[in-house]
Amino acid sequence: QRDLEIALKTGACINIQHISTKEAVELVRSAKKKGGDIHAEATPHHFTLTEEAVLKHGALAKMNPPLRTEEDRMAIIEGLKDGTIDLIATDHAPHTKEEKGVSDITKAPSGIIGLETALALGITELVAKKHLTLMELLDKMTWQPAKMYHLDAGYIAEDGPADLVIFDPDCYQTFMNFESKSKNSPFAGKTCKSQVEYTISDGKIAYIQCMGFAGMED
């Protein structure tokens, strides 16, 4: 609330990251109505999971800010629907199996990996359930963040940056084998809709799902 008030008074651009509570959603919604260059971001884990996941997954579901209640989760989804939350970011935080595998959860670091699961979770939890259209989801994951951070990215145009993801929105996948060197995810074993087939970075194929390996250059 303090930061929002300062942003409104000074005209500064502000991004409230990793929103996890219904109170935070309402604070941003109220501030946006007053004008200003105000943005807000939510993560796939906060619009997908609740605190109940900690009982099932232990330290794999420990993050900062922590998972909250179902009421908070639905408030985040409502914020995404009405534009209060205009960005979706992964909050990708790799940790080793040993770090997350300690017997005392209070000693485990916070955070989960999120790059490989973000798109599928968005399509499964937001698009398939009619909270957002596919284009609204992609807006919040691509050109909206790029625009706010003044990045030449997030769009498709001739002679533009060739950073692309080619995916099948209708197939299903079960998260089992992660390309990341870390495996700290409460979504391991979860079946979601959509699958990334190709990742293209700077015009070069960086990942090919259908061939089962990564690292291709052309």
Q: Which residues are catalytic?
A: 91
CA atoms within 13 A on the CB side of 183: 10
Residues shown for the chain: 218
Residue whose C-alpha is closest to residue 113's, from 36, 199, 45:
45
State the Cα–Cα distance between residues 154 and 174, nearest whole angstrom.
27
Closest CA to 84 of 9, 24, 13, 142: 24
Q: Pairing mode, if any, of strands 191-201 and 164-174?
A: antiparallel
Give me the residues paired with residue 167 across strands: 196
Tokens of 107: 């000693």
CA 159 to CA 174: how far, in whole Å? 36
* Residue in the structure block whose two tokens are 């807006």: 139
